[in-house]
Amino acid sequence: MTQTKEQTPRQEITITGFGGQGIVLAGRILGKAAVLGDHKQSTLVQSYGPEARGGACSAQVIISEGTIHYPYVRHPDILVSMSQTGFDKFIGQLKEGGTVLIDQDLVQPRGLEGDVFPIPATRIAEELGRKMMANIIMFGFFTVITRAVSMEAALDSVVGSVPKGTEEMNKKAFDKGCDYGVALLKSWEKKAKGREGA
Residue 108, domain CATH: 3.40.920.10
Note the pTM of the prediction, 2 decimals. 0.90
pLDDT of residue 194: 77
* 2 lies in some domain: no
Instruction: Name the pLDDT band for 8 (thresholds 50, 70, 90).
Output: low
Quote the pLDDT of residue 111. 75
| Other beta carbons less than 10 A from residue 125's beta carbon | 23
The structural domain count of the chain equals 1
Say what the pLDDT of residue 182 is. 98
> Strand, helix or coil at 11?
strand
Average per-residue pLDDT for the chain: 90
What phi, psi does 12 have (nearest 5°)?
A: -110, 130
- The answer to whether residue 7 scores a pLDDT higher than 90 is no
Does position 181 have pLDDT exceeding 70, yes or no? yes
- Of the ranges 54-58, 130-134, 194-198, which one carries the lowest mean pLDDT score? 194-198
Cα–Cα distance between 184 and 180 in angstroms, integer? 6
Is the residue at 98 inside a domain?
A: yes
What is the domain range of residue 46? 7-197
Q: Please check whether residue 142 is in contact with residue 101, taking contact to mean a CB–CB distance below 8 angstroms.
A: yes
19 confidence band (pLDDT: 50, 70, 90): confident
d(CA 198, CA 93): 36
**Short-list 113, 117, 35, 51, CA closest to 82:** 117
